[in-house]
Amino acid sequence: MKVIDVMKIIFALCAACSQTSFATVVITTDCSNATSCSLTNLFSGATIQIDDILLSNWSLSYSQNVVLNDVAMGVGRTGTFNEAGLLPINHALLATKNEKIDLDFSFKATSIGGVITRLDELFGTGRYDTTWGYVQGSIAIGTAQGLADLGTATTRRSPNSGWYDGVAISISDLKSVWITTHIDIYGGNYSGEYAEMGYNTAYRPGYLYAFSVGEATETTVPESTTLSLLIIGLLGFSFIRRRIVSTVGWVATFSNQTINNNRLTTNSKANPADGEALILKCCSSGIA
């Protein structure tokens, strides 16, 4: 049995478990933590796999007022499957009065044992009497880095707190997709106001990527022996066709009558003095 088949069986069994008993699988490479990976590590070439989704090829476009080592990618909500979350540490995504936080980055999401069929985005926010403050998150999904040909989603919330459902984007059964994320936070205009994404454990992660994964469609490839026999058969058919198409035209002139390709016609120009002479002419029509 192939390794990929074993993984599919494991994932199927895990999906059947209840959420309270489900144990999320996390695999990190070149990360400081075994269960999460800081943006500093990820932008330096590290990767993290959460259940069936591998997150790699991380790239930072822009950051303002963000300590990258205090923002990590890890497991989404407890007891879920194929959910990754952006985890703020030490209030890393907190904007106070007249402060603005910007964070733009991209990464590649790959399904290990199937295909990605959908992506849901959510985020949690914390507010305190902010009049003009806000938290906004947006994503773009594409078939290559920097593209948004598969869809976009933007969620913006003003003063409030709690989980907010974002936008679900359907994907046409792709093995890998590229995701560009833009986080924009503004604290407000007055003293004591602030806006924060993922302000405590109850509302973490600050930004959530919930992947839906389907089974990959297998394509049957002909075996080498079958393919060889098919080629030989086609070559033989071509040879026979060439022999049939190559024809010989016979023209027989007898007295004043002409036989041409099995048809008997009268030759009005024949010379009677030729008598009983029989002339056979062979003409090849050539190879088609």
Q: Are residues 68 and 184 in the same domain?
A: yes
Residue type at position 162: G
> Taking Cα atoms as reference points, which of 23, 161, 139, 118 lies closest to residue 80?
23
Q: Which domain holds residue 267?
A: 226-284
Domain boundary among 179, 214, 249: 214
- Choosing from 188, 214, 240, the residue where a domain stops is 214
142 shares its domain with 173: yes
Strand ranges inside 129-262, DSSP E: 134-142, 151-157, 162-174, 176-186, 194-197, 207-214, 248-254, 257-260
Domain contains 148: yes
Instruction: Check whether residue 143 and residue 230 sit in a common domain.
Output: no
Residues 56 and 83 occupy one common structural domain: yes
Question: Do residue 125 and residue 267 come from a single domain?
Answer: no
Residue 220 lies in a domain: no
- CB 113, CB 49: distance < 8 Å: no
* pLDDT of 250: 37
What does the pLDDT read at residue 281?
Answer: 43
Q: What span, in angstroms and rounded, lies between the C-alpha atoms of 138 and 183?
A: 7
**Residue 140: what pLDDT?**
95
pLDDT (0 to 100) of residue 16? 43
Are 280 and 142 members of one domain? no
pLDDT by 10s per residue, the chain, length 288: 554 454 445 444 444 443 333 458 999 999 999 989 999 999 999 999 999 999 999 999 999 999 999 999 998 876 678 999 998 888 899 999 999 999 999 999 999 999 999 998 887 766 666 778 888 889 999 999 999 999 998 888 776 666 666 788 999 899 999 999 999 999 888 888 888 888 665 556 788 899 999 987 765 555 556 666 666 666 665 655 555 444 434 333 434 444 444 444 444 444 444 444 433 444 444 444
Q: Which helix (H) or strand (E) holds 41?
A: helix 39-42
The confidence score (pLDDT) of residue 18 equals 35
Give strand pairing partners of 222.
none
The total number of structural domains that make up the chain:
2
What 3-state DSSP class applies to 172?
strand
Co-location of 128 and 179 in the same domain: yes
The set of residues, in sequence order, having a beta carbon less than 8 Å from that of 141 and lying 6+ positions away, is 119, 148, 150, 151, 152, 169, 171, 177, 178, 179, 180
**For position 268, what pLDDT does the model report?**
43
How far is residue 39's CA from residue 158's CA, in Å, rounded to a whole number? 26
136 and 175 co-located in one domain: yes
Q: What is residue 134's predicted lDDT score, i.e. its pLDDT?
A: 87
* pLDDT score of 28: 96
- How many whole angstroms separate alpha carbon 288 and alpha carbon 243? 9
Domain match, 187 and 113 both: yes
> Are residues 118 and 51 located together in one domain of the fold?
yes
Instruction: Give the strand pairing for 53-64 and 47-50.
Output: antiparallel
Give a yes or no: residue 219 inside a domain.
Answer: no
Structural contact between residues 165 and 122, judged by C-beta atoms closer than 8 angstroms: yes
Q: Are strands 47-50 and 36-38 parallel, antiparallel or unpaired?
A: unpaired
> Is residue 221 in some structural domain?
no
The answer on 271 and 131 residing in a single domain is no
111 DSSP 8-state letter: E
Q: Residue 3 carries which side chain, given as an amino acid letter?
A: V
Q: Which secondary structure element, helix H or strand E, spans residue 96, and what is its range?
A: strand 94-96
